[in-house]
Amino acid sequence: MGTNDQKSKKEEEHPMISKPSRLVILQKGYHLLGSLVFITGFSIGLVLCLQLKSLHMSTSKTQQQPLWSTLLFNHTTTVETKQELQLQVLQHNMSDQELFTRVSSLSSSSSSWFGWRHNNDEKMGVKVAFMFLTGRGLPLASLWDKFFEGHAGFYSIYVHTNPSFQDHYPETSVFYSRRIPSQAVYWGTSSMVDAERRLLANALLDESNQRFVLLSDSCIPLYNFTTIYDYLTGTNLSFIGSFDDPRKSGRGRYNPQMHPQINITHWRKGSQWFETTRELALHIISDTVYYKIFDQHCKPPCYMDEHYIPTLVHMLHGEMSSNRTLTWVDWSKAGPHPGRFIWPDITDEFLNRIRFTDECAYYGHDGDNITTSKCFLFARKFTKETLEPLLRISPAVLGFGP
């Protein structure tokens, strides 16, 4: 077979397509492929959109938000999500024993605040738990609302009140739905310490809480939020007053039946209102030995809330405390209770005397020991009628408010 015949046969087996024809076919192929890609992408997008919309509708029954706010994972949305999770934590039905057991089993790694903070770049994750112990409502709630305003994500709030009391805080208040499962508290009994431990345990369930402040319904802040936050998070020490009082109101309350676990040289007295680190708070909740001794042998005129934690910390964890309270009270008047303040007492001069009168040591987390005039961050006992003058002068004196 000749060369021409072979070429003709190959052309019959593999017919050649002209260049214009190939271009037409390629163009049609591109159009078809583009259509398929568009249809596929549109279908996937439609499915995802419907799913996101369904998710949004299911989570918006209690809080209406536009769909785009669900898709934008910004700071505000993150804070709101964390707050919703906190509300779920507060609604538990655990008994005290179940609660304390659960908290005591928390990983020891969660108690190391500095390691926890250094391993997390976002300062937003470190919160101060403000724990309010009150019989009924919080008459100074409006002042605290101003104090916390603009600092969401840096704090948590827990309120322990009489279970029969019905609070009515507006949804705009930081105290709205912040009440923990509570029990009745009777002055001068171990139920006071039970309430303190209950507040601590509920706050410890949130591992982002690294500092814990116990406050009463008559407490006020003496500085703005940023100043107090930096003061608390700038040290690795707790602030728990604990001293040896030789008087009848101190050593005179010691019960020899506490021996040998607790002897007279261990006995300490201090303010009920404390501030503690997460690590020390876990130690307090985990104690069962000394709590039982106090519960059995510390009866009036021995008051457990003035002796249990100061003695426990002195005996076992003294190196973890700066051995002073951050809450100022007026003991200048004779009597078993500190002085109370009313409307005429609230002046610039009065508040500044509390804020800057004394000097004390402050140990920073880097080991530096400095002397500061900021020895108290909070003060009590302020009555309901002081709310109006406090709100009026707080912007100029305390550094927050309208």
The pLDDT tens digits of the residues spanning 76-121 come to: 444 454 455 455 557 788 998 999 999 998 854 454 444 444 444 4
Residue 21 vs residue 249, higher pLDDT: 249
Domains of the chain and CATH, by start: 95-102+124-396 (3.90.550)
User: What's the pLDDT band for 284 if we cut at 50, 70, 90?
Assistant: very high
**Which of 30-39, 59-68, 85-94, 278-287 is least confident?**
59-68
User: What's the pLDDT band for 393 if we cut at 50, 70, 90?
Assistant: very high
**Which of 30-44, 223-237, 241-255, 335-349 is least confident?**
30-44
Given a cut of 50, is residue 162 above it in pLDDT? yes
Distance CA(383)–CA(368), nearest Å, equals 38
Average pLDDT over every residue of 4-13: 42
- Arithmetic mean of pLDDT over the chain: 81
**Which of 72-81, 108-117, 143-152, 203-212 is least confident?**
72-81
Distance CA(278)–CA(106), nearest Å, equals 11
Give residue 122's pLDDT. 45
Give residue 180's pLDDT. 96
Give residue 271's pLDDT. 94
Give residue 55's pLDDT. 43
- Per-residue pLDDT tens digits for 9-46: 344 443 433 444 444 444 555 455 555 655 666 566 55
- Per-residue pLDDT tens digits for 318-357: 999 999 999 999 988 766 778 899 999 999 999 999 999 8
Average pLDDT over every residue of 130-156: 97
Give residue 90's pLDDT. 78
